[in-house]
Amino acid sequence: MAGVTAALETVASRLVAPEFAAGTVWLVGAGPGDPGLLTLHAAHALAVADVVLHDALVSPDVLALAPRARLESVGKRAGGERTPQLRINERLIRLARDGLRVVRLKGGDPLVFGRGAEETLALAAAGVRFRIIPGISAGIGGTAAAGIPATHRGLAHSVAFVTGHDTSGALPDDVDWGALARGADVLVLYMALRRIGEIADRLLSAGREATEPVAFVTEATTSRQSVQVTTLAQAAAIAADIPRDVPTLIIVGPVVALRPLIAAWQDAAPMSCVPVSQRATA
């Protein structure tokens, strides 16, 4: 552990971070869970922020890296209460106008299925300066951490990232599942636990095989990560046993079959964080 710390200090001492100016907002991707998957920009932002507005999915280990910031939770878990988006936008603008260094911390990448686009548009319309710090999206980081390659030269040349529900919780109307079934070798589904039965039916109708392998990856990159592998025909049965509020990726495609060969030799322990006992919360 001491070696890791010394190595990180060496890296940090060779980098000059951009100024996080008072009165600005940084939209920061927190990655899928393991604090070791944060970018250096993200770690810097957390270290100097005055206030962090974070989603429910952001891991406590990541929040522990913002010891001087006030923490405000504005997210929701599946089925729970969500802070209305308008209120989040207004809060970001208010805090920036109060002259604070504001971090808007989102799981994964801030602009992938996370309403980051709405927030940047609201900030731009209000004339508030902001910076976007990309993060490792769960669909990339979670897939790799589970030992499933998103592509493979001989098996899969394309991958699509798809959401399994729209704002009302229904299967998104404007997703052409037939075209996806025929056009993308690998499908990485976010927020699809409740709809995987319908999705599987549509993929099967469009010609995907009932025996095609499917992986459920829950709480990817954390110490609680678990992976279950099944087939498209059996996917709904597996989903029924996973609690709705557990973050889950569903990966459909031939690359899932490589997992036993890869995962058996893969080290995937996450970094662990020293807990911060005394901190401000809101």
Ligand X SMILES: C[S@@+](CC[C@H](N)C(=O)[O-])C[C@H]1O[C@@H](n2cnc3c(N)ncnc32)[C@H](O)[C@@H]1O
Please, what is the minimum distance in Å from the beta carbon of residue 96 to ligand X? Answer: 22
Question: Which CB sits closer to ligand X, 93 or 193?
Answer: 193
Tokens of 175: 């997703």
Three-state SS string across 3-26, please? HHHHHHHHHHHCCCCCCCCCCEEE
Question: Which CB sits closer to ligand X, 114 or 213?
Answer: 114
Please, what is the minimum distance in Å from the beta carbon of residue 227 to ligand X? Answer: 10
Phi, psi of 32 (to 5 degrees): -80, -10
Three-state DSSP class for residue 181: helix
- Please identify, among the stretches 16-24, 45-53, 92-100, 136-144, the one whose residues bind ligand X according to the rule CB under 6 A: 136-144
Total residues at interface with ligand X (CB under 6 A): 23
Applying CB under 6 A, among 96, 159, 184, 191 the residue interacting with ligand X is 191
Q: How far apart, in whole angstroms, are the C-alpha atoms of residue 94 and residue 74?
A: 15
CB 79: neighbour CB atoms within 10 A?
Answer: 11
Tokens of 203: 């993929």
Question: Which CB sits closer to ligand X, 56 or 257?
Answer: 56
Applying CB under 6 A, among 35, 101, 114, 160 the residue interacting with ligand X is 114
Applying CB under 6 A, among 26, 177, 190, 216 the residue interacting with ligand X is 190
Please, what is the minimum distance in Å from the beta carbon of residue 50 to ligand X? Answer: 23
Binding to ligand X by residue 108, rule CB under 6 A? yes
Sheet holding 101-106, edge to edge: 70-73, 51-54, 101-106, 24-29, 130-133
Binding to ligand X by residue 57, rule CB under 6 A? yes
User: CA neighbours within 13 Å on the CB side: how many for 26?
Assistant: 26
Question: What are the residues binding ligand X (CB under 6 A)?
Answer: 32-33, 57, 106-109, 112-114, 137-138, 142, 190-191, 217-221, 247-249
